[in-house]
Amino acid sequence: MPLTQPEGGTLYKGAVEFTFSCIQQLEAQGYNPRIRAICWMQGESDANGSQYDYYYTLTQNFISDLRLAFDEYKINQGIGFVDAAIAAISKWREHEAINDAKRQNAEEDPLTYFIDTNAELLTTDQEPANNPDLAHYDSVSMVKLGRLFGLSLVENFIS
């Protein structure tokens, strides 16, 4: 599968550079790190952009690119991927297309899992009135999302 961007976009580069930096720190301490899975929570910008129709393919390529980048650190079955739904709010016009693409990737790839944050009732509107960010999950929901990621990792990748 071809890379979506041969040089990689900003988020891709940032994720890869940060992860390699952490791996190097662990190796310097004598550890032999392995990657069981990658957790990812993005898609809002694509819900309003012109790429939502291609999100399924772009995400497939993105996952493939990450697995290739970290191939030497995979465990036997390969590197898993845990993705989560973006909020089903009107700000993200094409949230259904984005979340359907995320869900489809998880249905077709045995190492990819989807967390339906909307079914889990995560919210975007519970921040203090003087500090609203109605576009993303609020603080309490971000903690819940972290827990959902952790549960998915334990259930699907820790034997």
Domain spans in the chain, listed from the N-terminal domain onward: 10-157
pLDDT (tens digit per residue) in 97-125:
999 999 999 999 999 999 999 999 999 88
pLDDT (tens digit per residue) in 7-60:
677 878 888 999 999 999 999 999 999 999 999 998 998 898 888 889 999 999
DSSP helix/strand/coil, 82: strand
Structure pTM? 0.88
CATH topology of domain 10-157: Rossmann fold (3.40.50)
What whole-number distance in Å separates Cα of residue 71 and Cα of residue 123? 36
The enclosing H or E element of 152 equals helix 139-157
What whole-number distance in Å separates Cα of residue 83 and Cα of residue 103? 9
What whole-number distance in Å separates Cα of residue 21 and Cα of residue 15? 10
